[in-house]
């Protein structure tokens, strides 16, 4: 199993390598890929050194799987080139998510949609993944009518530059700015760029991707995304209105029975999800489960997950695991 990690030196690429190792994914040859300035450098995987190579050399190596986390432009240009040589690409950027010919996959929800012919597979946005993980079983039981979500997102979602900005500000050091404003002791209601409708791209991802993953364009969704000075883990306040009424005991049971979801909901002892404790874990944590008394059939949830793991790297690797388990990579050998 030849596995390329494209963007191997970035924050998500680094976590991808960690997750591949932790989950003992069957890698016989790792092909680390990064920008030209990193070519020739060494990285370590399973106590073995590997040399970073260029995208062109990686395509020539014809890996079985390529895990992409190198930005949308890189993916648009290079993912098809990998696919042409028979490699199955799992892309972590936004490049392919809303392409009607590409699958947008959260394995616990819709991996069964995948086939051998899917050579470019999209990994959803981090904030979308954790929300749909909590909502998918509830949608199946009660049918979602409308979602109002506010996110409180870690600086790690922006990247290394943002992490450095926070560290500099905490230390009183002037340095390069990832944001228009200081992030230390602040909350910035601006994640990604603004679109013409006044919403940010991050907010619209929550709308469009959720409808695609749950395969239901009738769900009304509105979002506000806020960047906060936490180093890892996104949090979401989710208000969801259903077509049908629900029982809170059954809601908790459905969530408890969902793979990858952990219920932390005991206010008697102040138990609820927080990014401090989700950091470094693969699960999606759900708490503050309560009925919205202002209107019928409406539920409030607090959802937290590590955005670099389940929100990115872990979900990507889980897609790869499903492809291996279901023998959906054999088409590559026919092509080559």
Domains of the chain: 2-95+312-335 (3.40.50.720), 127-305 (3.30.360.10)
Q: Compute φ and ψ for 168, nearest 5 degrees.
A: -65, -45
Supply the pTM of this predicted model. Answer: 0.95
Catalytic, 234? Answer yes
**Per-position b or e across 257-289, b if 16+ CB within 10 A of its CB:** ebebbbbbbeeeeeebbbbeebbebbbbbbbeb
Structure tokens at 225: 């995304």
| C-alpha dihedral (86, 213, 264, 11), degrees to nearest 10 | 40
239 strand-pairing partners:
148, 300
Q: Which of 139, 190, 191, 234 is catalytic?
A: 234
Separation of alpha carbons 27 and 203, rounded Å: 36
264-319: per-residue pLDDT in tens?
999 999 999 999 999 999 999 999 999 999 999 999 999 999 999 999 999 999 99
Confidence of residue 335 (pLDDT cuts 50, 70, 90): very low
On average, the pLDDT of the chain sits at 96
Structure tokens at 139: 């949608």
Separation of alpha carbons 38 and 9, rounded Å: 8
Q: What percent of the chain has pLDDT over 90?
A: 96
Angle between helices 201-213 and 126-142 (to 10 degrees): 40
Q: Which residues contact 251 (CB under 8 A, 6 or more apart)?
A: 138, 289, 299
pLDDT recorded at residue 211? 98
* Whether pLDDT at 331 is above 60: no
Q: What is the mean pLDDT of residues 139-144?
A: 98
For 168, other C-beta atoms within 10 Å of its C-beta total 16
Instruction: Give the residue from 176, 3, 16, 206 showing the smallest Cα distance to 87.
Output: 3
> How much of the chain is in helix, strand and coil states, percent to nearest 5?
35, 25, 40
49 strand-pairing partners:
44
Catalytic, 184? Answer no
Structure tokens at 68: 């992409």
> Do 198 and 224 contact (CB within 8 A), yes or no?
no
Structure tokens at 324: 């291996």
222-279: per-residue pLDDT in tens?
999 999 999 889 999 999 999 999 999 999 999 999 999 999 999 999 999 999 999 9
pLDDT recorded at residue 72? 94
């Amino acid at each position: 199993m030849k596995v390329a990690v494209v963007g191997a030196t970035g924050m998500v690429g680094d976590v991808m390598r960690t997750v591949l190792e932790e989950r003992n994914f069957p890698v016989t040859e790792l092909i680390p890929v990064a920008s030209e300035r990193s070519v020739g450098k060494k990285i370590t995987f399973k106590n073995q050194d590997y040399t970073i190579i260029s995208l062109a050399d990686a395509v020539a190596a014809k890996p079985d799987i390529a895990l992409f986390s190198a930005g949308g432009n890189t993916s648009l240009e290079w993912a098809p080139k990998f696919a042409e040589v028979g490699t199955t690409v799992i892309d972590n950027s936004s490049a392919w998510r809303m392409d009607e010919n590409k699958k947008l996959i959260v394995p616990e929800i819709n991996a069964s949609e995948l086939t051998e012919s899917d050579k470019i597979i999209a990994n959803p946005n981090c904030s979308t993944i954790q929300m749909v993980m909590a909502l998918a079983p509830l949608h199946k039981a009660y049918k979602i009518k409308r979602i109002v979500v506010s996110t409180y997102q870690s600086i790690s979602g922006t990247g290394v530059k943002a992490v450095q900005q926070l560290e500099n500000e905490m230390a009183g050091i002037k340095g390069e700015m990832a944001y228009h404003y200081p992030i230390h002791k602040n909350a910035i209601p601006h994640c990604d760029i603004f679109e013409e409708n006044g919403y940010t791209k991050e907010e619209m991802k929550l709308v469009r991707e959720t409808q695609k993953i749950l395969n239901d364009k009738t769900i009304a969704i509105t979002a506000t995304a806020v960047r906060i000075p936490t180093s890892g883990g996104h949090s979401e306040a989710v208000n969801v209105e259903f077509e049908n009424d629900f029982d809170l005991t059954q809601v908790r049971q459905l969530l408890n029975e969902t793979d990858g979801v952990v219920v932390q909901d005991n206010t008697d002892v102040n138990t609820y999800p927080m990014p401090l404790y989700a950091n470094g874990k693969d699960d999606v944590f759900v708490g503050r489960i309560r009925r919205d008394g202002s209107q019928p059939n409406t539920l409030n949830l607090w959802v937290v997950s590590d955005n670099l793991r389940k929100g990115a790297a872990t979900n990507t690797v889980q897609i790869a695991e499903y492809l291996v388990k279901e023998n959906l990579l054999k088409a590559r050998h026919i092509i080559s």
